[in-house]
Structure 1
Amino acid sequence: MLALGLVAGLDAAAQATTDAKVFGGWRNLHSENGAEPALEDIPFAMLPAEAAKGTRFAVLDREGKRTVCCMVVTSDRLDAAALEQRYRLPGVWISDVLNEGTTESRPYEPRVYEMKRDGALQTYAFFDAAEAYSDLGGLLLPPSATLDAAGNVKVGADRYTLQFQSTAFADDDGALDRFTLRPVGKPGKPVIVEVPYGTY
């Protein structure tokens, strides 16, 4: 009975983790110019909590007004040294994924992971327009998330209004995108996700 109780407890904990509604940011990056070997088109997650390998997320095609699944976590948590030495990212992008430019006011300290594209996202063509850049990064959502006709995010029975704001850096050397999700019809704090885009 004790063993059965332990297994049931572990199953419940695993289910709670699976059902957790985690929102985060992501960036699509490449190695610095001249790096050998050159790594290209690598998506990195910027999450508010630890994530296991295999954790899946949908991405928001903001201009296309839809979500697409999936990005899948493929690494352990990455620190600045790993981002520099293993992936040879330029310093400005390391600062971006760690969100170091807004340390005092950032909504959370990003946990950074390498990801890969899976499912529909492997062949998905993001909305193509002059000002569109959702293929370069943006909002990560739970894998079942969708957008309704009003632009609200739906995750199971829960809905969130979605507000987007982009603010140029003071030196005009990039911008900070902020996504704010507010629960609809029930109490709860808004979820804020920041994604910096420094110029390299």
Structure 2
Amino acid sequence: MEAISRFLAALMVPLFLLNSFGGIVSGVWLAFLGEWAIIGYGLLVIILASAVIGIVLAPSMFLAKPALTFMEQGRLTAALLMGVLGRLYTVGVLSFWCILVLIYYIEIATSETLLPLLLWSYGVATGPITWLTQKDMQSGNDASIMTTAFIQISYVICAVGAWLGDMSLHGFVIVFAVLMSITAVAELSLAFIIDRNRSFRL
């Protein structure tokens, strides 16, 4: 857990800059190239996807509640099973969405527009996820922060790979599978540690 915390801390500044200015820079760049339709459709997708992803992720909440109940009852195996299923569903949906967006923008890109489109696609893919995470934090639930950070990191790695090394769909799936598995394990481990500490205090 400490290694993951250090890894995330080291990437906080680059991710902050990318989240803050990536959309602006790529939007201006695409506007300069005359790609107004891409900008308009991208903004529309961000708005619609925020609602759609939230709805699609709803089943994970039905898995999270039994997991918490089982954990409170001391049924750790059942709690772990429900927790794993919930996290797999969540990271699977988010990974699928991000890979879908990335592939789409790569397919429509030319040699001139590839880099600005990759920057723009980052905002289209991760923007709705970040917005949902911020809503969770406002309601007092910060459990999805790590997932969002690893989604962003995975996307950046894949986008850079597509730009520099012609990374394919197979490579995208591997990157997301590995990094999102790490965050799923870390989040479940953290949840069990917190629950154990709470039990000991009681």
| Global fold match (TM > 0.5) | no
Q: Which is helix-richer, 1 or 2?
A: 2
* TM-score, length basis structure 2: 0.23
